[in-house]
A and B are shown apart, each in its own frame.
Chain A
Amino acid sequence: KQEVTQIPAALSVPEGENLVLNCSFTDSAIYNLQWFRQDPGKGLTSLLLIQSSQREQTSGRLNASLDKSSGRSTLYIAASQPGDSATYLCAVSSSGGSNYKLTFGKGTLLTVNP
């Protein structure tokens, strides 16, 4: 059974700092890994999707990496801003199970202080 763990559960940083969020998964047989952002009282917004054949994806100040063999992904946020404050979730689509199932981590609550 695929399990996804996100560390840390919460992170507080001053504005302008670069930071890394971590995601690990137990079964390396994945199709892809996605990073989502969730604002309080809102749904999830997809930030980056990395296919299993890719090593990283970039969008603006965000860079996500994937090391499938070790079961790890990181989300790097450069020059953090207060508007980046949210919960960040990673999710994997596993080739060993249902093609329609995403397994989510419990998220990292990020607070960027002005």
Chain B
Amino acid sequence: NAGVTQTPKFRVLKTGQSMTLLCAQDMNHEYMYWYRQDPGMGLRLIHYSVGEGTTAKGEVPDGYNVSRLKKQNFLLGLESAAPSQTSVYFCASSYSMPAKGSQHFGDGTRLSIL
């Protein structure tokens, strides 16, 4: 029972490089989310999706883009990485909106931008 799987688990980038983080869930959840977790800041929502083909901005969307072409996948892209984007990125999914139900989290992607 995989749940939410994030790829890759670790990555080091140079400033200006681009990359895509992949999130896959096998629970047939409608809602998916990308968070970043930084020391002293807690988790902050970057972007989210309420269904296949939809995306919306969260609390800290600048510098990131997302796509949800398939219901089970939610991609987070960094077009031109900056040191400020060094963080641990978590993907989550849920059957219903946060107002009604819990979210299931992946194990995170640790990203360092040099």
Contact = CB atoms under 8 A, between A and B. Distances in A.
Interface size class, chain A: 20 to 34
B40 A106 contact: yes
B41 interface: yes
Nearest to B6: A43
B107 A100 contact: no
A44 B50 contact: no
Given A45-B105, A102-B45, A32 B99 contact: yes
B98 A42 contact: no
Contact of B4 (A34, A43, A99, A101): A43
B74 interface: no
A42 B50 contact: no
B103 interface: yes
A71 B92 CA distance: 26
Interface string B90-107: 101000011111111111
B58 interface: yes
B106 A43 contact: yes
Interface string B77-114: 00000000000001010000111111111111000000
Interface of A: 4, 31-32, 34, 36, 41-46, 49, 89, 91, 93, 95, 98-102, 104-107
8 contacts: A41-B107, A43-B107, A44-B103, A98-B58, A100-B33, A100-B50, A100-B97, A102-B103
